[in-house]
Structure formats: structure tokens, C-alpha cells
Structure 1
């Protein structure tokens, strides 16, 4: 599969990224993986090709992805208010996929040297990077 987008909580980040990719002409398969059903549903409504929910879905789809995108918290166990389990973080970190991770303050991490931008700009940057990788 080409692109896997993982998100949690309300799925707003993943929804916005999928919308930006589709608006930018990306026609490849986008699999939405939510840490919960609400996040998966939001990403499916945004135009994902397929969706799955839960820890096992993250583990399986991270291993199959060519490009994996989501918030930086995906590689930090117990981040995203506890929605990212240690098994999920390990699966994302060990995935052979090219990872496009977006700094999100809610994940409790800041990346030194990155300029502070609105989330919408980080999403636009991520969408452009993913289009370039395709």
C-alpha cells in the first residue's frame, strides 16, 4: 500500500492531511488508521480509500506502508493522551516506510531548530513532502 495515515483523538490532523493530499491531486491508495473509531471515521469522510482502527491495525499497516504519516507522538510510547501504546510506537518506529512525522505540541515534544508554525502549515508541508515522495 502506498500511504498510511495514523491519527487519534478526533482525527482532525489525519482528516486535514488527507484533504490536502486529495486536493493536491494524490490518487494513490490512502489507508486511514485511527487509534479510535472517531479518528478513523473522520479520515474516511475526508477521502481515505480504506480505514481500520486500533492497536493491531496500527501494527499491521505500519509494516505494509510505503509512506507513513502522522503526528510525532506516534513514535513515543504513551503519547497522545495515552492513545499511542508502546506496541504502536514500536511498530511505527520500526516500519520500513518513509515516515512523515509532524511536530504537534499535544504530543508533549518539541523539535529543536524547527520554526514554530501553525498546524495548518505543517500539514501543508507534510502533504507537499508526501507528493514529492510519490
Structure 2
């Protein structure tokens, strides 16, 4: 049987941008194990590009989750944009990686992070 803390009490913290400035406020905490694992799978298995991307506006959301890297715990931090057409999520990491998620992954991840449907 797996110990509960093997996942490091894993949770995802989500912040939402308020107004037009680069200011974020705490929005949601995702700590349902299945949702956290699904979100991490989507992010880990995405087709990341090693490239510094300059986005034209501030991120819509930021999210973080802890992960184990061999012997140390780290926090993975991501900035997230909803694309102009409202169908895809675009994510940039603090280590200059970029991905535009597929429509399906975008819908799934958005719903986990916000509790809302991506396509209105």
C-alpha cells in the first residue's frame, strides 16, 4: 500500500490575474488526488519547446505544484494563458519552456485548475 505522503501531500495552487496589471491573487487549491495526478500528467506529457517566448499580455493564471526530483522536493511554477480563440491553453515555465496544449488537454486542465469549462 502506498503511503499518503509519497506524493508529498500533493496539491496544485492556482492564482488568477486581477485586472490588467501583472498582479495575481490566490484563486483555488486543487488537492483531490485524481485531479492533481491528471493535471500533472497533462503538463508532463505535453510537447514542450525549449524557447523563451514573449507573450503579448500578462498570464491569465499561474499555478504551482510540488514534485520530487530524486532526493529533493521542488516547486514547479507555470504561467498560463487562454489563447485568443479561447480553445487552447498556452503555458510558459520559469525555465523558458513553452507549450500550446491540444484542445482536449486544454479543456481538461482548465477544468481541473478553475472548476469551469474552457469553452463557454
> Into which bin does the TM-score normalised by the smaller protein fall?
under 0.3
Q: Which has the larger radius of gyration?
A: 2
Structure (1/2) with the larger helix percentage? 1
**TM-score relative to the length of structure 1:** 0.25
More strand by share: 2
Question: TM-score with structure 2 length normalisation?
Answer: 0.26
